[in-house]
């Protein structure tokens, strides 16, 4: 039997910075390169801004300046400033901070004293500077190690705190802050803190009407079935309406934190809306089901509670059941407020009540219309899964770990949607079987533009894809954190990409809105000589590679994914994977986009094609064309 030595020498104690750097995922979730809104660099940004927000909530400082340039972040608030004698401790001594004193930070989002320490440990440069009552104290760090402890000196600046940091490139490989993700973060802070000004790289973000502004910015008024309903009190605020889209769309917050995965407060809000609607319409003996009431809803809810408990350090899901040590349950607190306000509003606004009833009845009819075919389709999907070669699943879904571990495993998973057997074969052989799955399409998907959701169940490919993702009833049980379209970089591949985008945007837009949807970039060329090899993703990269090689290199043009060997493919879907997120701009009109690209004989599309038929040496610029856009570039 094999033996191993287990002595005192095997026992090791890590200091705070070593532990954070060894297990960064425990503190900031997944690392990433900035392509996803929940990547670690945005968590670093959030952890610092949260402290400035807490100062504002306590009544100190109405402006926060944020500047990001060349990967370096500067955040300056005008609050009270860190007490000068504790500047170093507050950013480098674990479990140290002012938020343990509930008198000072009663309803703060960060109570564990870890946030800025994690930012410090995961930055190759970190500066903290506090200005307080005419004096200034600064300290500089590298990967959490103190490098310069400046002595206090006089200052004529306003009170406040400045944090400057540069994420460690050895931890966040090839990272890049995406402007749209940062702006979305800042807008959320503005909505939740009416009157606060956030200035980012020359732009100002400010909201006067809170969550009402949020929903108005996220929608177009002509797409809503009735005007937005909005109510707020000291510790709770909500806004809601119904639209014409499929699915449910929520924005939820706790103490200013965007809880992207919901939690007890969002569950309570949904329950309260259902209770209020059922109670109101029961006067006419109408009995509506929960799923019909919530179908096509668009809502935002924000609560402030004492000492919130989140299910992870990144604070994306609330676990608290009480609003405070002596307060009611989260469920009762939200239900009492929402039910009363919403039900009374419907009694006083007959036109809104009629519009809401009409929307619910439409959802009811659509649900009943597809009930029969849905049952048959689900049986087919279940039978297909017994011998289904379309989906090569990943092992993360078969682990026997506890619920929390399974959720953490799910956050690392990716589903590649490929075309044909050759492409799926290469990816299947090259993938990480623990976290990467492959779904193989058979031929081109159906153009589902303008069709009803019946097609999702009538079309075998769509039905099996929906089941593979487990999104039939929303994103709560989404099986893969990243859904990646992997098609050839040719006309057919682009067409398949567009057809899939149409499917998801029309029937499951929340998958895109919540940052789960990506396009896989694969190289177009391989340029090599006897000593070096380069994979190039564009003509420009190819020319650069040729210049780096001496002599006449071998140049291979990859015509399709199936032509890339599994050994080579492993490099493209591994640590250096290039993913372009599909991002819905704040003002993207989905109806307009889908009509333009997928509608039959769209005049504006015809004109655009005719105007751009000529091929020039110089790149054709079409930025000034009045073309609806769906951003999918970094």
Cα diameter, the chain: 85
User: Going by C-beta distance under 8 Å and a sequence separation of 6 or more, which residues neighbour residue 228?
Assistant: 212, 215, 216, 239, 240, 241
Tell me whether residue 628 is in a domain. no
In whole angstroms, give the CA distance from residue 409 to residue 481: 10
pLDDT of residue 494: 87
Answer whether 115's CB lies under 8 Å from 193's CB.
no
- Per-residue pLDDT reduced to its tens digit, 487-530: 887 888 889 999 999 999 999 988 998 889 999 998 889 999 98
pLDDT of residue 95: 60
The answer to whether residues 47 and 28 belong to one domain is: yes
The answer to whether residues 50 and 173 belong to one domain is: yes
In whole angstroms, give the CA distance from residue 465 to residue 481: 15
The answer to whether residues 530 and 514 belong to one domain is: no
In whole angstroms, give the CA distance from residue 93 to residue 305: 26
Per the structure, how many domains does the chain have? 4
- SS3 sequence of 342-384: HHHHHHHCHHHHHHHHHHHHHHHHHHHHHHHHHHHHHHHHHHH
CATH number at residue 26: 3.30.565.10
The answer to whether residues 325 and 398 belong to one domain is: no
- H/E stretch holding 236 reads strand 236-242
Q: Which two tokens stand for residue 222?
A: 């002509």
DSSP 8-state secondary structure symbol assigned to residue 221:
G
Does position 146 have pLDDT exceeding 90, yes or no?
yes
607 pLDDT tier (thresholds 50, 70, 90): confident
Tell me whether residue 564 is in a domain. no
∠ Cα 172 40 109 (to 5°): 150
The answer to whether residues 102 and 192 belong to one domain is: yes
DSSP, collapsed to helix, strand or coil, labels residue 596 as helix
- Per-residue pLDDT reduced to its tens digit, 352-398: 999 999 999 999 999 998 888 888 888 887 777 655 668 899 987 66
DSSP, collapsed to helix, strand or coil, labels residue 632 as coil
pTM above 0.85, yes or no: no
The answer to whether residues 350 and 468 belong to one domain is: no
In whole angstroms, give the CA distance from residue 214 to residue 230: 11
Tell me whether residue 381 is in a domain. no
- Per-residue pLDDT reduced to its tens digit, 538-569: 899 999 999 998 788 999 998 788 788 888 88
The answer to whether residues 200 and 99 belong to one domain is: yes
What average pLDDT does this structure show over 439-457?
A: 90
Q: Which two tokens stand for residue 396?
A: 């993360």
Query: Residue 18: CA atoms inside 13 Å, Cβ hemisphere, count?
Result: 4
- Domain of residue 310: give its range: 211-366
The answer to whether residues 163 and 232 belong to one domain is: no
Tell me whether residue 361 is in a domain. yes
Label residues 82-112 b or e (16+ Cβ within 10 Å = b).
beeeebbbbbbebebbbbeeeeebbbbbbbe
In whole angstroms, give the CA distance from residue 299 to residue 237: 11
C-alpha 81, offset from chain centre: 31
- Per-residue pLDDT reduced to its tens digit, 30-71: 888 898 888 999 999 999 999 999 899 888 999 999 999 999
Label residues 597-612 b or e (16+ Cβ within 10 Å = b).
bbeeeeeebeeeeeee
The answer to whether residues 185 and 53 belong to one domain is: yes
How far CA 559 is from CA of 277, 344, 465, in Å, comes to 56, 63, 26
In whole angstroms, give the CA distance from residue 478 to residue 89: 41
Query: Residue 161: CA atoms inside 13 Å, Cβ hemisphere, count?
Result: 26
In whole angstroms, give the CA distance from residue 439 to residue 442: 10
User: Going by C-beta distance under 8 Å and a sequence separation of 6 or more, which residues neighbour residue 500?
Assistant: 417, 445, 485
- SS3 sequence of 11-30: CCCCCHHHHHHHCCHHHHCC
Answer whether 229's CB lies under 8 Å from 342's CB.
yes
How many of the other CB atoms lie within 10 Å of CB of 62? 14
Answer whether 81's CB lies under 8 Å from 132's CB.
yes
The pair phi, psi for residue 591, each rounded to 5°, is -60, -45
The answer to whether residues 358 and 403 belong to one domain is: no
Tell me whether residue 622 is in a domain. no
The answer to whether residues 160 and 76 belong to one domain is: yes
In whole angstroms, give the CA distance from residue 77 to residue 162: 7
């Amino acid at each position: 039997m094999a033996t191993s030595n287990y002595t005192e020498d095997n026992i090791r104690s890590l200091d705070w910075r070593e532990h954070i750097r060894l297990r960064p995922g425990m503190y900031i979730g997944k690392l990433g390169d900035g392509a996803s809104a929940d990547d670690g660099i945005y968590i670093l940004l959030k952890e610092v801004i949260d402290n400035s927000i807490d100062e504002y909530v306590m009544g100190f400082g109405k402006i926060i300046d944020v500047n990001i340039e060349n990967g370096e972040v500067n955040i300056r608030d005008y609050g009270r400033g860190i007490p000068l004698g504790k500047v170093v401790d507050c950013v480098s001594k674990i479990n140290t901070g002012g938020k343990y004193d509930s008198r000072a930070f009663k309803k703060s989002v960060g109570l564990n004293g870890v946030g800025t320490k994690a930012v410090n440990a995961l930055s190759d440069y970190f500066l903290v500077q506090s200005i307080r009552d005419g004096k200034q104290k600064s300290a500089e760090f590298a990967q959490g190690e103190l490098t310069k402890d400046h002595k206090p000196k006089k200052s004529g600046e306003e009170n406040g705190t400045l944090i400057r940091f540069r994420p460690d490139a050895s931890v966040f490989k090839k990272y890049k802050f995406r402007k749209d993700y940062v702006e979305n973060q800042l807008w959320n802070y503005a909505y939740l803190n009416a009157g606060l000004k956030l200035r980012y790289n020359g732009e100002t973000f400010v909201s006067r009407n809170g969550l009402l502004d949020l929903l108005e910015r996220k929608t177009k008024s002509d797409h809503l079935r009735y005007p937005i309903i909005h109510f707020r009190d000291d510790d709770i605020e909500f806004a809601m309406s119904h639209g014409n889209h499929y699915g449910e769309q929520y924005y939820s917050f706790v103490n200013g934190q965007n809880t992207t995965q919901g939690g007890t407060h969002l569950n309570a809000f949904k329950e309260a809306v259902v209770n209020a609607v059922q109670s109101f319409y029961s006067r006419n003996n109408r009995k509506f089901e929960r799923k019909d009431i919530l179908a096509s809803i668009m809502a935002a809810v924000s609560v402030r509670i004492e000492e919130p408990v989140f299910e992870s350090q990144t604070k994306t899901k609330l676990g608290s059941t009480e609003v405070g040590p002596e307060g009611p349950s989260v469920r009762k607190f939200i239900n009492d407020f929402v039910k009363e306000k919403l039900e009374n509003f419907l009694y006083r606004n007959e036109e809104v009540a009629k519009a809401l009833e009409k929307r619910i009845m439409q959802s009811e009819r659509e649900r009943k219309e597809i009930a029969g075919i849905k049952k048959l389709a689900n049986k087919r999907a279940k039978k297909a899964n017994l011998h289904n070669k379309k989906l090569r699943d990943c092992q993360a879904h078969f682990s026997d770990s506890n619920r929390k571990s399974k959720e953490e495993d799910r956050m690392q998973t990716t589903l590649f949607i490929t075309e044909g057997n050759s492409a799926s074969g290469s990816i299947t052989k090259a993938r990480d079987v623990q976290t990467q799955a492959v779904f193989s399409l058979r031929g081109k998907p159906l153009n589902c533009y303008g069709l009803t959701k019946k097609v999702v169940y009538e079309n075998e490919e769509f039905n099996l894809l929906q089941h593979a993702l487990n999104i039939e009833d929303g994103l709560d049980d989404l099986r893969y954190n990243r859904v990646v379209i992997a098609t050839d970089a040719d006309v057919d591949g682009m067409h398949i990409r567009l057809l899939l985008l149409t499917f998801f945007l029309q029937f499951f837009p929340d998958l895109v809105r919540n940052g789960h949807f990506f396009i896989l970039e694969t190289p177009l060329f391989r340029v090599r000589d006897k000593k070096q090899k380069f994979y190039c993703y564009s003509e420009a990269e190819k020319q650069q590679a040729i210049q780096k090689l001496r002599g006449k290199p071998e140049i291979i043009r990859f015509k399709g994914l199936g032509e890339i060997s599994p050994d080579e493919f492993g490099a493209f879907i591994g640590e250096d994977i290039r993913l372009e997120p599909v991002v819905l701009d704040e003002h993207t009109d989905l109806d307009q986009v889908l009509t333009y690209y997928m509608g039959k004989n769209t005049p504006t599309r015809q004109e655009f094609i005719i105007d751009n038929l000529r091929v020039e040496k110089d790149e054709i610029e079409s930025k000034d064309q009045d073309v609806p856009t769906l951003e999918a570039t970094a």
